[in-house]
Amino acid sequence: MGPVVVAASMSLDGFIAGPNDGPGNPLGDGGYRLFAWWWAGTERIGPDNRFKPPARSRAVVEERFDWGAVITGRRTFDIADGWGGHHPLGAPFFLLTHTPPDRLVGPGTDGTVVYDGIARALAQARAFAGGRAIAVGAANVAQQYLEAGLVDEIHIDLVPVLLGGGVRLFAERDDRPPELECTRVVESDGVTHLRYRVDNAAHARSAGLAHRAHVEVGHPQRGHRDPGEEVAPLPR
């Protein structure tokens, strides 16, 4: 079974899109700088000329073209105009939403709508992925999978720019975040590729100990959610 991966290009101040992002400004103000490394090289990877990464980034990008499926959210889908019904990395995509779009998903596309939560989306993605990695995109969807303890790896393409605002990949959490282990650092032209293993087992143990201590000192449970409980998918 392939890993579940959160992957994103991110600024040094933690943003994956600039301010004022939307359908007419998909990457937000200045957000295009987060992706300039994708075409900073000379040799093409993939089906068209959009992807020409630097030589030291090629192995990282080749891994992404081998992803078995992508799980995304409705806001990202709308901003990207549904990628024309075909994700640019060539993988089937699964759209978490309660309000399905009337185009660019279903027969004749690579898109499938999932109505009933993140666990169901992951099960469907795994059925298509054939043992390959599954990417989770869009900030809010990634946060849901992280909070549920379903993410195995985090891949960050760290770009040396400051956006000053926009969409953050990581949000504030009520619980303790998981432990991370850095497993790869690739310094390339205009980007540093970082890969982390997510230690969900250690997170579960520490959360369990914290919860036990909380209960033993007589505090009531407030806002507790089981790590495996599904939450309603929200836009990015």
**DSSP-assigned letters across all residues of 124-141:** HHHHHHTTS-EEE-SHHH
E strand or H helix at 75, and its extent? helix 74-79
Domains in the chain with CATH codes: 4-216 (3.40.430.10)
Task: Please tell me the predicted confidence (pLDDT) of residue 202.
Answer: 73
Which residue(s) pair with 168 in the sheet? 15
Higher pLDDT, residue 231 or 130: 130
Q: Is the per-residue pLDDT at 10 higher than 80?
A: yes
Query: In angstroms, what CA-CA distances link 101 with 21, 30, 55, 106?
Result: 20, 28, 38, 10
pLDDT band at 205 (very low <50, low <70, confident <90, very high): low
CB distance 155 to 5 below 8 Å? yes
CA angle 138, 140, 142 (to 5 degrees): 65
Out of 49-63, 106-120, 200-214, pick the least confident: 200-214
pLDDT band at 208 (very low <50, low <70, confident <90, very high): low
What's this model's pTM, rounded to 2 decimal places?
0.84
Q: Is the per-residue pLDDT at 30 higher than 60?
A: yes
Q: Let me know if 70 is exposed, middle or buried by CB neighbors in 10 A (0-12, 13-18, 19+).
A: buried
Q: Is the per-residue pLDDT at 221 higher than 50?
A: no
Residues 134-152: what's their mean pLDDT? 94
Euclidean distance between CA atoms 31 and 37, whole angstroms? 12
Residues 219-227: what's their mean pLDDT? 44
Task: Please tell me the predicted confidence (pLDDT) of residue 211.
Answer: 47
Task: Please tell me the predicted confidence (pLDDT) of residue 230.
Answer: 43
Residues 192-221: what's their mean pLDDT? 67
Residues 157-161: what's their mean pLDDT? 98
Task: Please tell me the predicted confidence (pLDDT) of residue 206.
Answer: 58
pLDDT band at 188 (very low <50, low <70, confident <90, very high): very high
Task: Please tell me the predicted confidence (pLDDT) of residue 36.
Answer: 96
Q: Are strands 153-159 and 69-73 parallel, antiparallel or unpaired?
A: unpaired
Residues 153-168: what's their mean pLDDT? 97
Euclidean distance between CA atoms 175 and 153, whole angstroms? 19
pLDDT band at 39 (very low <50, low <70, confident <90, very high): very high
Tokens of 151: 């993410």
Tokens of 220: 């009531």
Task: Please tell me the predicted confidence (pLDDT) of residue 204.
Answer: 67
Euclidean distance between CA atoms 18 and 165, whole angstroms? 6
CB distance 21 to 11 below 8 Å? no
How many CA atoms does the CB half-sphere of 51 hold within 13 Å?
A: 15
Positive or negative: CA dihedral 150, 236, 185, 36 = positive
Q: Is the per-residue pLDDT at 235 higher than 70?
A: no
Euclidean distance between CA atoms 166 and 151, whole angstroms? 24
Residues 187-214: what's their mean pLDDT? 77
Helices within 87-224 (DSSP H only): 118-129, 139-147, 200-216
Q: Is the per-residue pLDDT at 114 higher than 80?
A: yes
